[in-house]
Structure 1
């Protein structure tokens, strides 16, 4: 039989522990749903702003290498132009939404953090934007030209006439820069999860071999099939993981020192 709460005579209703847990769970689910709605609304706004910015962004991308090497791009479908606009809008929305999503994650878990931990975790929000921008720059100015030069070199060595479609060109570009840019958020995510106690340096070190395999797989997937290009991408990603482990260790040590000082003060 369920253990229901009681209402003392003339007093407020007092829920039982099981009812309190159920109420807290429902409150957390409702709060999570509210945060997700905020993120979806920001994504919609980002897509609208991305569509407005698509033309100047397109003009810039076509004015710099490697696009400037091409004589012209072709549309092979009536939807190719729209698809290009939507791809650019998605990347612009990503720049807007990702830091905002980090803030919503912080707002969701912050009630369970101490005041000092809340202030420290809030600092990860601007860092998320910085790391995303660094990832975009690295993937566009380093990885993408390598992949483009390799594929065009192969085409020319086979005597093929280069006729590029706008949809294929931008799909090729964004399939490279989006995954790599997101991976540059790894140190911020690891530091945040370490701060709230979900991850720790020991667990990250145990996961190292699986992480290396996954990062090398990503490097091979987004680059041309040659060893040099694969390593030029996979090596920075592996260094990024090791940097994440180092930052997690630093955060963990500071947390342990703070806890030790608090115990000394209590004694």
Structure 2
């Protein structure tokens, strides 16, 4: 295929991926009540599973019971004429992207697969499954861990009893969406390391030597996306550290295979 033919092929893969996002987004648009009342506004209520689990744990361990509450002291408001409709549209698109993520990965793989070896093509199903699984796992982690921790801290934080928290709708939804999507992409670390190792850009020794710097970076990222308390940062950093260690194991496996090929 010529360069222009490759561009044409890429264009159709992108169009198919966008169509999948639009179709899934339309479905999400139709289920407005579930998407907003149950999913997005779920972390606002004391009955959210994360709060109940942390409340029970704090009671058992005899710790601070700040997660045991009846209602968060803030309201969500819409101050612009088209704010609610705009939030409905963009939230539906985001939901469409999350739901259609496996198909988007499939389209990406379909574009690059003609340049791969037969053995590499056979691993397509595993690649799509693992990539999608890590993404969804990260989204759930962001939604059930990062979002409620952030909302609980920021929603109850006050500089004075005279100032009441009235959060804008876009700000609240943006916090939940950013937490979920950022975590979903962050959980793709093993996949990124896998390809870097395949291309010879990363080795097990490199990851081991720079482990301490990676830990510092992980803590910095955790501090950015979570409330400024040590417990929240620690909870968020644990799975990322585990993923980093898994990435080291992945590079070891790839490095050994490459050494065997060179010996042969």
TM (normalized to structure 1)? 0.73
CA RMSD in angstroms, aligned pairs only: 3.1
For the 8 Å contact 1:74–1:164, the answer to whether it is kept is yes
Match of 2:19 in 1: 41
Match of 2:35 in 1: 57
Question: Which residues of structure 1 form unaligned runs of 5+?
Answer: 1-22
Q: How many residues are treated as equivalent by the alignment?
A: 237
CA distance in 2 between partners of 1:207 and 1:82 (Å): 47
1:102 deviates by 1.8
For the 8 Å contact 1:54–1:88, the answer to whether it is kept is no
- Further displaced range: 96-105 or 61-70: 61-70
Higher relative contact order (CA 8 A, sep 6+): 2
Secondary structure of the structure 2 residue equivalent to 1:37 = helix
1:221 is aligned to 2:199: no
Residue 118 to residue 96, structure 1, CA distance change in 2 (3 Å): same
Match of 1:158 among 137, 157, 160: 160
Match of 2:65 in 1: none
Residue 214 to residue 108, structure 1, CA distance change in 2 (3 Å): farther
For the 8 Å contact 1:75–1:81, the answer to whether it is kept is yes
Trace 1:183-202 onto structure 2 (pairs within 5 A): 183-192=186-195, 194=197, 197=199, 199-202=201-204
CA distance in 1 between partners of 2:19 and 2:157 (Å): 44
For the 8 Å contact 2:142–2:184, the answer to whether it is kept is yes
Question: Which residues of structure 2 form unaligned runs of 5+?
Answer: 47-70
1:131 is aligned to 2:109: no
1:125 deviates by 0.6
Trace 1:64-143 onto structure 2 (pairs within 5 A): 64-68=42-46, 69-70=71-72, 73-143=76-146
CA distance in 2 between partners of 1:178 and 1:255 (Å): 34
Residue 28 to residue 194, structure 1, CA distance change in 2 (3 Å): farther
Secondary structure of the structure 1 residue equivalent to 2:100 = helix
For the 8 Å contact 1:187–1:244, the answer to whether it is kept is yes
CA distance in 1 between partners of 2:115 and 2:210 (Å): 27
1:180-217 superposed Cα distances (whole Å, 9 cap, x missing partner): 1211122234335545x365435862776775565444
The structure number with the bigger radius of gyration is 1
Residue 122 to residue 204, structure 1, CA distance change in 2 (3 Å): farther
CA distance in 1 between partners of 2:11 and 2:243 (Å): 32
Residue 55 to residue 203, structure 1, CA distance change in 2 (3 Å): farther
Secondary structure of the structure 2 residue equivalent to 1:228 = helix
1:237 deviates by 2.2
Residue 246 to residue 256, structure 1, CA distance change in 2 (3 Å): same
CA distance in 2 between partners of 1:224 and 1:38 (Å): 38
Residue 147 to residue 63, structure 1, CA distance change in 2 (3 Å): closer
